[in-house]
Amino acid sequence: MKIELNENKIFFNNGKSVQEIHPFWLRERVDGDDFLDKGTQQRLFDPSQMDGEIIIKKAQIKNGILEVDFNDGVNSKLDISKLETEFSNKDTVIKSIPKKKWDSTLKNIKSFEYKEGFFESKEMYDLLVSFYEYGFVIIKNVPTKDNFIVKFANSIGSVRRTNFGEHFNVKSKSNPNDLAYTTLHLSPHTDNPYRNPVPCIQLLHCIENEVSGGYSTLVDGYTVTEKLKKEDPDAYKILTEVKVRFKFTDKNVMLEDWSELIHLDDEKNFKQVRFSPRLDYVPMLEKNKLDQYYKARKKLSDLYNSEKNRIEFKLTPKDLMMMDNYRVLHGRTKFDPKEGKRFLQGCYIDFDSTEGKLRHLKRKFKLWRFEIL
């Protein structure tokens, strides 16, 4: 993308078309002490009360700065790298990171090392990029004392509290209110599909793991659903259309929400999967449509449970795994509690946490890209 000047008119060129930038659009983005509060970066003026007849009297570009004189007497020096982020009507930070498909052939899973100053480091930026590429990351050497997982989560954004608490302890116990708190095998699933909204990101921190089983399993819902779309478009279609009811019941709460198993965005692209067969209830439909739906769900389930689509590994103490709960399904192999302890702690955060942190670090390390003419 390029910015160009022509007789006091300013244009941006995206390589496909050239469009004039409206003078008022630039005027409402003026900065400086008279126009923006230093601390909050919020405007000190109300652009909705301004006269719409704004004209550019003079403009020049020098060293990445666009200097503009407006007809209302305001002179502004605008950082083009900041303007770049607004030249698209779509997100240019998160959506510019391409999703990388993966299956059981994924080897040498990249991990990151926790250290002092980690949350404000370039490594943290690289971690978040990797998270959006693969849907999960693993961080090594994360302290295990004093519920450190909460501090870790709050250093990225804010913990999403649920009826399980600010954080939860994953270990077998009597009379569990969730199968996660048993020693049983857990098939691939997403967490909390019965919530509105569903928690976006799950963190799991290994505190103790002395058993030979209890391996963590992950499946990329994005890869699987794209495969289903290619192999069986009719099955894919019905799973993107029919909403099922997800339900959770405890002695103090009943949670319900309706959703498709494969949820698409407004442009019919992948957005989210919800899959937890022990918690879903298919609505009453015509018999023929239910026949189609059940066959489609079985095919999707077979893909999720196939060894070809699953990676499996053992978390060791101080390992912390962060997963995209809208994309990645997780599970666990069974284990024998007689062999020793297996204790993990978990919590949730939402996408605004990781997105906000990524944008901040991209700004901090000056990782914006722009070309000036």
Question: Which residues of the chain fall short of a pLDDT of 50?
Answer: 173-174, 177, 370-373
One domain, residues 57 and 121: no
- Which pLDDT score, from 0 to 100, does residue 178 have? 53
Question: What confidence score (pLDDT) does residue 179 get?
Answer: 57
Within-domain flag for 368: no
Q: What is the pLDDT of residue 174?
A: 47
3-state helix, strand, coil in the chain (%, to 5): 25, 30, 45
Please answer whether residues 78 and 66 qualify as being in contact, where contact means their C-beta atoms are separated by less than 8 angstroms.
yes
Q: Domain range holding 325?
A: 111-360
Residues 63 and 180 placed together within one structural domain of the fold: no
CB atoms under 10 Å from CB of 2, counted, come to: 13
**pLDDT attached to residue 370:** 43
Q: Does any domain span residue 15?
A: yes
Asked whether residue 76 falls in the same domain as residue 204, the answer is no
Measured from the Cβ of residue 243, the count of other Cβ atoms closer than 10 Å reads 14
Same domain flag for 76 and 11: yes
Tokens standing for residue 72: 């209302």
* Same domain (yes/no): 64, 155: no
Q: Which residue has the tokens 């969730």?
A: 178
Enter the pTM of the model.
Answer: 0.88
Q: What H or E segment, with its residue span, contains residue 125?
A: helix 122-134
Question: 116 and 233, same structural domain?
Answer: yes
In 3D space, the residue among 217, 134, 219, 157 whose CA is nearest the CA of residue 355 turns out to be 157
The two structure tokens encoding residue 317: 């103490």
Q: Do 121 and 185 share a structural domain?
A: yes
- pLDDT tens-digit profile of 118-144? 999 999 999 999 999 999 999 999 999
> Count of domains in the chain?
2
